[in-house]
Amino acid sequence: MIRFVTSNRGKFEEAKRILNGVDLVWERMEYREVQADTNREVAIQSLRELKGMVKDPFFLEDSGLYIDALNGFPGPYSSYTFKKIGCKGILKLMEDIEDRRAYFTSVIAAFIDGKEILVEGTVRGRIAEGERGGGWGFDPIFEPDGAGGLTFGELGERKDLFSHRGLALRRFLRVLRDLKYI
């Protein structure tokens, strides 16, 4: 059994699908996130903060959307930015900007048998011209490379094949296997 500490249902559902064969428990809680320039730093600090509060083994995930033309904004502030301005706000910021390139990064930080483990996944893509499809967060406005121009939102569960979280979680699954955890 391993606990996934998150308040985000979308993240948990993706983890449940991808970590096949793992006894995954949703530790549904919010935790304080430090301000930092990278998701990696946020993930490590959050992990250390949670160590005394959540039972080993557990993991958390920190992710963000980095838009090239906006110098990487919103990056580690993606959750805050989504809450404040949403997809519409990003589309507005991107009005008249031709360079739509962006990437998503996911960092998984785990604490297993007293050891810290870190894995990451990144997917490049572009910001769509409008919102398409469902999903959560910025799913309707992100088109991952290689998906024929469909957004995460339009891809449904096929998002896992392309997404930053899909990559990171599959790497994490391999780590769990190597540790003879599953």
10/112 with CB nearer ligand IMP: 10
- Within the chain, how many helices (H) and strands (E) appear? 6, 7
Size of the chain in residues: 182
As given in the structure block, the two tokens for residue 72 are 């990487």
Residue 65 lies near ligand IMP (rule: CB under 6 A): yes
Distance, CA of 159 to CA of 127 (rounded, Å) = 15
82/179 with CB nearer ligand IMP: 82
Residue 63 lies near ligand IMP (rule: CB under 6 A): yes
Segment lying near ligand IMP (by CB under 6 A), choices 24-32, 119-127, 134-142, 168-176: 134-142
Please state the closest distance from residue 180 (CB atom) to ligand IMP, in A: 29
Catalytic residue among 37, 62, 113, 139: 62
Residue 46 lies near ligand IMP (rule: CB under 6 A): no
Near ligand IMP by CB under 6 A: residue from 27, 62, 120, 160 = 62
Partners of 65 in beta bridges: 75, 104
62 catalytic residue (yes or no)? yes
Distance, CA of 22 to CA of 90 (rounded, Å) = 36
Distance, CA of 41 to CA of 147 (rounded, Å) = 30
| Amino acid, single-letter form, for residue 137 | G
Within 58-158, where are the H helices? 78-93, 152-155
Catalytic (active-site) positions: 62
| Binding region for ligand IMP (CB under 6 A) | 8, 62-65, 78-79, 82, 104, 136-139, 152, 163, 165
